[in-house]
Amino acid sequence: MPTKMRWEFVPTVALAAAGLAGCSEPRGSLVYVLDGEQTVTLTPAATELTAQQGEAIALSVARQITGNWRQVPLNEARGRCWQYRPPAASEPEVADDVQWIVDPEGSVQFHLEYRFDHKRLVTPIQKGTITLTPVTTVPCEPERRVEGPPITIEVN
């Protein structure tokens, strides 16, 4: 009986040690670092440019990012912004991942539920002209924000 317990114990310890070894950083890992400034383009759209007060409107934004990302060993990237992969060059729908400047402020209500299509629903709560401008952050440039062209909606 003690021999059997010892036999069950040894594989468990070996598996645990192997699992912990997998948690360490692999030698020679390669990552990407930004090499220069990036160009970011936002292309917004709305399902309606003329709407009734209280009518939901779906906002959509495509984001394109171009820039030079250089692959380097992880130990050379220490202290710099790095990623395992460069950012996607084209993201077809990011309306739920950008901030929105609304003018006049408080003129729309943003729906908070998650959508699988990544569009953003808004409901105008006042009549008149409402301008919505998408704003995005830029990977590895934490102080930089990029505004896209505004969407103007006439609310009756």
Q: pLDDT tens across 11-55, in order?
A: 444 444 444 443 444 555 999 999 999 999 999 999 999 999 999
The gap between the terminal CA atoms of the chain, to the nearest Å, is 84
CATH of the domain at 36: 2.60.40
**The dihedral formed by the CA atoms of 144, 145, 148 and 154, expressed in degrees to the nearest 10:** -160
* Number of domains into which the chain is organized: 1
Q: 59-88 pLDDT, tens per residue?
A: 999 999 999 999 999 999 988 999 999 999
145: Cα within 13 Å, side-chain hemisphere:
8
What gap in Å lies between CA 36 and CA 38, rounded to an integer? 7
Indicate whether 43 belongs to any domain: yes
Residue 85, domain extent:
25-155
pLDDT confidence bin for 110, thresholds 50/70/90: very high
Neighbours of 153 (CB within 10 A): 21
Please check whether residue 13 lies inside any domain of the structure: no
